[in-house]
Amino acid sequence: MGHTMDIQPLLAYNIWLSLPNDTRNKLVKLFDIPRTGEVIVRSGKMTAEGNIGNEVQQDGHSPKDLYAITVEKMQKYTDLASDDFYFLFDKVIEKLEKRGRPKKV
């Protein structure tokens, strides 16, 4: 039997990085997400597709840091009983976009 962290869904890192910076900052405060990685920005690199400009490849949060976003915390924040990680995450994002600064859960 594994620890619950082993089976907890993890937010895909590409989804995390696709969120607006302001939304990521709110999630960091809301869920007390640690920052154990490094910031990596690729700027002006030429690829087969052409100049991609500035692209954040890592924002200082490692994929493991995102385990701080748990179903239990999202249930508490949204006041929903669902245990569907992605449904709850969508509801958290909706709620964050409607409100200002979040309080930690």
Average pLDDT of 5-15?
Answer: 74
Q: Which pair of structure tokens corresponds to residue 63?
A: 């994929």
Q: Residue holding tokens 């990685």? A: 37
Residue 60 has pLDDT above 90, yes or no: no
SS3 category, 31: helix
- The domain segmentation of the chain, as residue ranges, is 7-69
The better pLDDT of the pair 104, 4 is held by 104
Average pLDDT of 9-31?
Answer: 90
- pTM for the full predicted model: 0.73
Residue-wise pLDDT for 27-58, tens only, equals 999 999 999 988 887 776 665 556 556 677 88
The better pLDDT of the pair 59, 1 is held by 59
Q: How does DSSP classify residue 104?
A: P
